[in-house]
Structure 1
Amino acid sequence: MILFRNIPIIQLPFLFLVVLLLDGCWDRVEINDVALITAVGIDKKDDETIEVSAQVYTPKTAGEKMGAESGGGGTGQTFMRSAKGVALADSISGLQSKLPRKVFWGQTDVYIIGEELAKNDIRDHLDFIMRDQGPREHAFVFICKGNAKDVVELLPPLERNSAEVLREMAKSHTGLKVTALDLALMLSDETGAAALPWIEILPPEPGKNKKQTIASMKGTAVFKKNKMIGRIDEKMTPEVLWLTNKMTSGVITITPKESKGIVSFNLIRSHTELIPQVTDGKWRMTVKIEANYKVIQNTTNLSLSKEKFMKIVEKDLSEEIENRVKKTLSLVQKKMNADIFDFAGAFHRGFPKEWIKTKDHWDEIFPQIELKIEAKTKVIRTGLVDEGATRTEKEVRKK
């Protein structure tokens, strides 16, 4: 009774009752009994049917050999199973009937939507992901060229499966990073506009199987009213990150007006602010970008240790960013008329009365908004050398 020395006698019966009610791990599921879904591809088959392709990973048990369909690394087997249905829930149910192990969604990294399905209404399929307790709402969403099934069944040479490849690409900030929850919030917004990463399958290495390759980010898919209406190419995608305040890394190269050669910069940090204004019935938006950079290459003869030349390259860098952002904004605003940068939210917060009066006519207002881009850059590091690393003292311009 030493364990119960400090417990009042009157409480002991309740303590024993609690112990009797503990059932232990009665509902535990052994890892050998589950099929881990790492990626899900969704394709349109016809007007009434979709096809779900699941990338399944089964952990390797003691004495079990590696499956022939496995990808790069890992201690298990990766393979694909597909099922058709009239809805995503229906297809998932059919998928379970093709697997001897219980489907487990806790390791799902990515959802991939095929091009044809993306051009139709994707909202109903997203409803299942957000409503059911199985699918992960924080898994990343991608739109792919062609069929999602082709991406799911890839066997990358380095990673365990294609889900790991896409997950790491999303985390590396080379393109947009959008989760199922992010997408649901964008589609439920008043404008119904969304931007998602666009991926394409790269050609395999010579002599390799066509499946032994990866899918890579190649731009941005633009959605309006739950349908994909267009695409922004890979070169203009960094500007989408600028405008959504999601730019965290990236290299930009300029040719200074004062010298031949180029200067390349790597982003350290940045911040983008949307400043709305409504005066005399005119809607204006100022996009303010502030960014700090470091120099990673300089083939000019300019000595960037001198304030005069540093100000020159900073001015040229700011102008380059402004021109790129203007070009992307023009495409999205004038040609696509899709508010993927949430200008509506900025006006709603800044001018709620004006917004309430005109929100039903946003499609007419958005293309007419007057834009002003202000980029302010600061180079805070010049690298390990102040002067030209491969130039003589006489070649470096200091005045």
Structure 2
Amino acid sequence: MRSRRTRLSLVLLSLLCLTGCWDRVEINDTAFILTTAVDVEQDGKIRYSVLLPLPGSMGGASGGGGGTAGTKSYYIDSAVGTTFREAQAQLQRRMSRRMFFAHRRTLLIGEDYAKRGIRNAFDTTPRSPESRMTIYMIVTKGKAYKLLQATPQFERFPSEAIRELVKARNVIQINMKQVALSLSSPGSDAITVYMGVKESEKNSKSTKKSKEIEFLGYAQFRGDKMTGVFENAEADGLAWLKNMPVQSSVTLKIENRHTVTLNIFDSKSQIRAYTERGKLQFDIRTKAKAKATEVLGMYDLSQTGKVQKVEEAMNRYIEQAMRKAIRKMITNRTDSAQFGSYLWREHPGLWEKKYASRWPAGMKDAAFRIQVKSVLTETGLIYENVTKAKRTR
């Protein structure tokens, strides 16, 4: 009996050491930030915008569109400050719930802010344990907060449409960590996804035009300042130069009479840097596969000779796309494909002695040798148009 009382006393005393949930955070007291947008004002101050869901409007069905009340399921607000945290603090003063950033997946940077330099954004994000360096960094055409005001029809929140587009198979996935590495590595310049807003067509007089979010290409940086945009074929060429596993849809003319649309996939590129007779050269070898998705002009892909002509046209397109991307880099004095990094890794002595202090100016005098080998692996379920008349003897 005495032993039992002793044990019971020890158990009761141990309860005094338990502190309880003194620092608990209730979910009802939390405002989940889905995405943030950063813009620069005319006086140089920062406009900081946030998009967060409204818990009271999450239960019922809702269409596309944003707003702050009524049937809208999310809320957009912004504040202006000298720093990110100052603007964020101003927002917090008028929110009854504490802003929580761990669920944020995208960071939008306005074009004007990107042209002034994005390096400051890499101080405020890593300092907070809630912020993640794996969020996608996106530069917007025009103001970043306008992308938050888009009204996509397929998603409840604009942030979801942005995230799904940036994760698509035809887009290079670029997060903040990758941008930071490009900014701090020798012989490389950063790129980010570039997006804008496009109005859709009206279905009828009673419906309103929706503002859809559109992937436009990749923002080009020199140091931490935006200098241009890779679009269309340039964007495809950049992806192949960076050896990124993206899918591209291209339309080619064959024999000036037939039009073929191809889906290019499973591309792989190898780049080797070397010098020949004192001149810097880059050897680029690319392999790719493709499948035919549409053929206009009664072109029979069951014939080996015609398949070879399609492959030759695809080889020319891939090479031309890569050369367009290289010319864009030389024109804007950037190294978005990280050619300097290849040179630094393969010839560190030559890099330090001759090119480190003036790169990427050295790209202007370099020679780029491109070899492309593509294969048409699929023609679909048919070789030619099913309505083609059969020949009679």
Q: 2: CA distance between counterparts of 1:18 and 1:154?
A: 57
- Equivalence map 1:1-399=2 (5 Å): 27-60=23-56, 77-191=73-187, 193-203=189-199, 205-206=201-202, 212-257=210-255, 260-333=257-330, 335-358=331-354, 359-394=356-391
Q: Secondary structure at the match of 1:116?
A: helix
**Is the contact made by 2:50 and 2:77 (CA closer than 8 Å) also made in structure 1?**
yes
The residue identity in structure 2 corresponding to 1:276 is A
The residue identity in structure 2 corresponding to 1:43 is D
**Is the contact made by 2:188 and 2:338 (CA closer than 8 Å) also made in structure 1?**
no
Q: 2: CA distance between counterparts of 1:62 and 1:340?
A: 42
Q: 2: CA distance between counterparts of 1:52 and 1:266?
A: 39
Deviation at 1:167, TM superposition (A): 0.4
Q: Secondary structure at the match of 2:120?
A: helix
Q: 1: CA distance between counterparts of 2:281 and 2:27?
A: 57
Q: 2: CA distance between counterparts of 1:91 and 1:352?
A: 44
What CA deviation, in whole Å up to 9, does each residue of 1:35-54 have, x standing for no partner? 11111111111344111011
Deviates more, 1:196-205 or 1:60-69: 60-69
Residues 17 and 192 of structure 1, relative CA distance in 2, 3 Å threshold: farther
The residue identity in structure 2 corresponding to 1:178 is I
Q: What are the ranges of 5 or more consecutive residues in structure 1 without an aligned counterpart?
A: 1-12
Q: 2: CA distance between counterparts of 1:17 and 1:299?
A: 85
Residues 373 and 16 of structure 1, relative CA distance in 2, 3 Å threshold: farther
Deviation at 1:135, TM superposition (A): 2.0
Q: 2: CA distance between counterparts of 1:14 and 1:172?
A: 60
Q: 2: CA distance between counterparts of 1:15 and 1:313?
A: 81
Deviation at 1:122, TM superposition (A): 1.4
Q: Secondary structure at the match of 1:262?
A: strand
TM-score, length-normalised on structure 1? 0.85
Residues 16 and 292 of structure 1, relative CA distance in 2, 3 Å threshold: farther
Deviation at 1:66, TM superposition (A): 8.3
Deviation at 1:362, TM superposition (A): 1.3
**Is the contact made by 1:205 and 1:213 (CA closer than 8 Å) also made in structure 2?**
no
Q: Secondary structure at the match of 2:50?
A: strand
**Is the contact made by 2:192 and 2:218 (CA closer than 8 Å) also made in structure 1?**
yes
**Is the contact made by 2:64 and 2:156 (CA closer than 8 Å) also made in structure 1?**
no
Q: Secondary structure at the match of 1:321?
A: helix
The residue identity in structure 2 corresponding to 1:215 is I
The residue identity in structure 2 corresponding to 1:162 is P
Residues 394 and 313 of structure 1, relative CA distance in 2, 3 Å threshold: farther
Residues 222 and 353 of structure 1, relative CA distance in 2, 3 Å threshold: same
Deviation at 1:275, TM superposition (A): 1.5
What CA deviation, in whole Å up to 9, does each residue of 1:77-105 have, x standing for no partner? 31111111111122222221121101111
Deviates more, 1:126-135 or 1:159-168: 126-135
Q: Secondary structure at the match of 2:150?
A: coil
Deviation at 1:67, TM superposition (A): 12
Q: Secondary structure at the match of 2:113?
A: helix
Q: 2: CA distance between counterparts of 1:68 and 1:230?
A: 32
Q: 2: CA distance between counterparts of 1:100 and 1:374?
A: 60
Q: 2: CA distance between counterparts of 1:14 and 1:273?
A: 69
Residues 26 and 328 of structure 1, relative CA distance in 2, 3 Å threshold: same
Q: 2: CA distance between counterparts of 1:108 and 1:171?
A: 15
Q: Secondary structure at the match of 2:33?
A: strand
Q: Secondary structure at the match of 1:182?
A: helix
Deviates more, 1:52-61 or 1:136-145: 52-61
**Is the contact made by 1:175 and 1:238 (CA closer than 8 Å) also made in structure 2?**
no
Q: Secondary structure at the match of 1:193?
A: coil
Q: Between the two proteins, what is the percent identity of the paired residues? A: 25
Q: 1: CA distance between counterparts of 2:318 and 2:233?
A: 13
Q: What are the ranges of 5 or more consecutive residues in structure 2 without an aligned counterpart?
A: 1-8
Deviation at 1:180, TM superposition (A): 1.4
Q: 1: CA distance between counterparts of 2:124 and 2:383?
A: 57
Deviation at 1:117, TM superposition (A): 0.8
Q: Secondary structure at the match of 1:265?
A: strand
Q: 1: CA distance between counterparts of 2:101 and 2:314?
A: 46
Residues 350 and 46 of structure 1, relative CA distance in 2, 3 Å threshold: same
The residue identity in structure 2 corresponding to 1:136 is R
The residue identity in structure 1 corresponding to 2:151 is L
2:6 maps to what in 1? none
**Is the contact made by 1:67 and 1:77 (CA closer than 8 Å) also made in structure 2?**
no
**Is the contact made by 2:287 and 2:373 (CA closer than 8 Å) also made in structure 1?**
yes
The residue identity in structure 1 corresponding to 2:383 is D
Deviates more, 1:139-148 or 1:212-221: 212-221
Q: Secondary structure at the match of 1:218?
A: strand
Q: 2: CA distance between counterparts of 1:209 and 1:231?
A: 31
Deviation at 1:69, TM superposition (A): 7.5
1:9 maps to what in 2? none
Deviates more, 1:119-128 or 1:227-236: 227-236
Deviates more, 1:229-238 or 1:142-151: 229-238
